[in-house]
Amino acid sequence: MPYHSPVGEFRFILGQVVPLAPLAATERFAEATPDMVEAILEGAGRMCDEVLAPLARAGDRTPARLENGVVRSSPGFKEGFAAIAEGGWVAVAASADFGGMGLPQTLNMVVNDMMSGACLPLQLNALLTQGQIEALEHHASDEIKALYLPKLISGEWSGTMNLTEPQAGSDVGALRSKAEPLGDGTYAISGQKIFITWGDSDLTANVCHLVLARLPDGAPGTRGISLFMVPKFLPDASGDPGVANSLKVVSLEHKLGLHGSPTCVMAYEAAKGWLVGEPHKGMAAMFTMMNNARLAVGVQGVGVAEAAYQKALEYAGERNQMGPIINHADVRRMLATMKAEVFAARAIALACAVALDLGRATGEADWAARAALLTPIAKAYGTDVGMNVSETCVQVHGGMGYIEETGAAQFYRDVRVTAIYEGTNGIQAMDLVGRKMMDSGEAAFRLLQEVEDNAEAARALVPQLAGDVWAAAETLREATELLLAQGMEDRFAGAVPYLRAFARVLGAHYHLRAAVAEGGTGPRTALAAVYIRRLLPQYAAALAEAREGGEGLFALSPEDLAL
């Protein structure tokens, strides 16, 4: 059974669990009608199943390579990206003013979910281009918008983001890249960047780099960083790729997975660039791109988890060991857990996307605050689910899962990095308990109240499941109050288990909504029972760890840890 886009799941979630209808009721997203949604689901699903999914193994077996300073893509990737571009799938949420569809980010995330499950290495190119489009829409000058956005939106050109340097990973303020004014409104960009996904390719006519660098009068740290557009080829008078810019790919990283996605070391040698946004405000502009990417990376985890689950389900039905192994209790446990986790993570990601869209469409601060709160949860939980489900896929395959020819291990190798890039999951957790709690927890408490209200309403239909969800939400509320009373070091020490507890409760909430939508009996209710009775109780252990704070951790000195 090859990968099959879960179109039916999206119909159900967007219809019954995280409704899309309120978005279509706004003036901004009035075109997101049921007919339009169905066209997006069917069209993107067909492209993913028929064009992208067959490329996944080729990308793993025949990696991108560097030849004479130019990256050559894996077999079929050029045609695959052309299908993405020609279908308009880069442009789902892009502004209609420059050729985009102008549809909600929610639908864009649906498409990204399916593309990630079909061929994550190729989806990364489209994802980074989408992030660059959003950053330019919000921060670039009219001249840059007019030149670059139509090309990026059409898929003629692709985009990257350049943050990381050898000495500056999560500590972006430690970067050394410099930008010297040339006196004509342009700048000479010099420095080295590492871990640049799709830093070069033969898929598009030009590769457009957003590069963080420091102006001569830039203050130390992140407050002195500016953002620049630095294209591979300098646009000529007609806006077409002209002479080569002074930048190059030094090398490609040899990675655990994602072999079809080239990860480049880039060198900028007085390359010509244009300022994007205000001087010294580059981090604000780049965060527009990064926040888009953080939600999308969580969606990547969900997409790969979906593909790994489908692979495991197929194998379990075919493999006979005293009968089909799908009939063995432990295999059934693994499959049910995988399916329940994928549903929960997908619903959380889509809830985040809907909140983001409603915030933009209505201007209401509460929706923006909810999207901000859910973003680190969606990113961390989605990628954790991607890793865990992919690892379980190997386990379902038994010894054959460890053999590369089966393809089971590729899911884990490809998805593993998603918990690291765009801010590690530990950083996401610290963001949740730090910046996202600067409102004294108001956004979190509003969301937990909604969970409790939903559980109360569900008691008449599924009393035990509803009662368990209500109790978990109330306990999480109390834990959040204790968290807010802690110092920041103690918060950070317990941040990861706190985020996992929050994700568990939200996953249960959406499973409960699914059970109610089904009428309290049927396969979705049975799946909700698996999640709520077997997985939800993990929240209590996670909160117990979170409450411990940092004291016990720092009682162990570096010398103690070395023993």
Active site (catalytic) residues: 422
* CA 521 from centre of chain: 33
* CB proximity list for 242: less than 8 A, separation 6 or greater: 233, 234, 235, 236
Residue with tokens 């239909």: 461
Q: Which two tokens stand for residue 308?
A: 């790994």
Q: 464: burial class by Cβ within 10 Å (0-12, 13-18, 19+)?
A: exposed
Q: Which two tokens stand for residue 192?
A: 């080295």
* Dist CA 430 CA 380 (whole Å): 11
β-sheet bridge partners, residue 227: 212, 276
Looking at residue 320, what DSSP letter applies? B
Looking at residue 363, what DSSP letter applies? -
- Length of the chain equals 563
* CB proximity list for 484: less than 8 A, separation 6 or greater: 437, 440, 441
* Dist CA 404 CA 61 (whole Å): 10
Distances (CA, A) of 184 to 148, 225, 243, 269, 272: 19, 20, 18, 18, 11
β-sheet bridge partners, residue 274: 229
